[in-house]
Amino acid sequence: MNEYRYLELKAELLAEGIQASEEALSGVGNEYKEQNHGLFGWDFEDHVGTSLPDDFMLPDGTIVQFRKNSRSPYKVSGKGNNLTLSKGEEEICRAEWLPRPAYYNKETANNNKMVKIGQVGGGDCLFFCYQNYCSHFAGNEECLFCNLVSTLKTYDSVLKKKDTEDIGEVAGEAFSEGKVKHVLLTGGCFNHQKEIELVADIMKSIRKKTGFSRVPGTILPSPAKGEDEIKKYYDTGIQAIGFSMEIWDEKLYQAICPGKSKNTSRGTFVNSIETAVKIFGAGNVYGVFVMGLEPKRTFLEGVREITNMGANVVPFVWSPNPGSKLEGHRAPAGGWFVETTLEASEIVCNAGVPSGIENHCYKCDGNSLLHDALRLKGIE
Query: Which positions lie near ligand SF4, rule CB under 6 A?
Result: 134, 136, 142-143, 146, 148, 188-189, 257, 260
Name the minimum Å distance from CB 283 to ligand SF4.
Answer: 24
Name the minimum Å distance from CB 272 to ligand SF4.
Answer: 15
Torsions phi, psi for 87 (to 5 deg): -120, 110
C-beta closer to ligand SF4: residue 293 or 353 = 293
Name the minimum Å distance from CB 13 to ligand SF4.
Answer: 23
C-beta closer to ligand SF4: residue 21 or 265 = 265
Name the minimum Å distance from CB 189 to ligand SF4.
Answer: 6
Sequential DSSP letters for 212-243: -SSEEEEEE-S---HHHHHHHHHHTTEEEEEE
C-beta closer to ligand SF4: residue 63 or 256 = 256
Nearest to residue 155, comparing CAs of 296, 41, 294? Answer: 41
CB-closest chain residue to ligand SF4 = 146
Task: Fill in the amino acid letter for 188.
Answer: G
Residues 6+ apart with CB under 8 A from 245: 253, 266, 269, 287, 288, 289, 302
CB atoms within 10 A of CB 328: 9
In contact, 168 and 206? CB cutoff 8 Å? yes
Q: Where are the alpha helices (DSSP H) in the chain?
A: 5-16, 148-155, 164-176, 192-210, 226-235, 250-256, 258-263, 266-280, 296-308, 334-351, 370-376
CA distance 314 to 282: 15
The CA-to-CA distance between both ends of the chain, in Å, stands at 21
Name the minimum Å distance from CB 150 to ligand SF4.
Answer: 11
Name the minimum Å distance from CB 199 to ligand SF4.
Answer: 16
C-beta closer to ligand SF4: residue 247 or 376 = 247
C-beta closer to ligand SF4: residue 293 or 348 = 293
Name the minimum Å distance from CB 354 to ligand SF4.
Answer: 27
**How buried is 161 (Cβ within 10 angstroms: 0-12 exposed, 13-18 middle, 19+ buried)?**
exposed
C-beta closer to ligand SF4: residue 221 or 310 = 221
CA distance 82 to 120: 23
C-beta closer to ligand SF4: residue 174 or 270 = 270
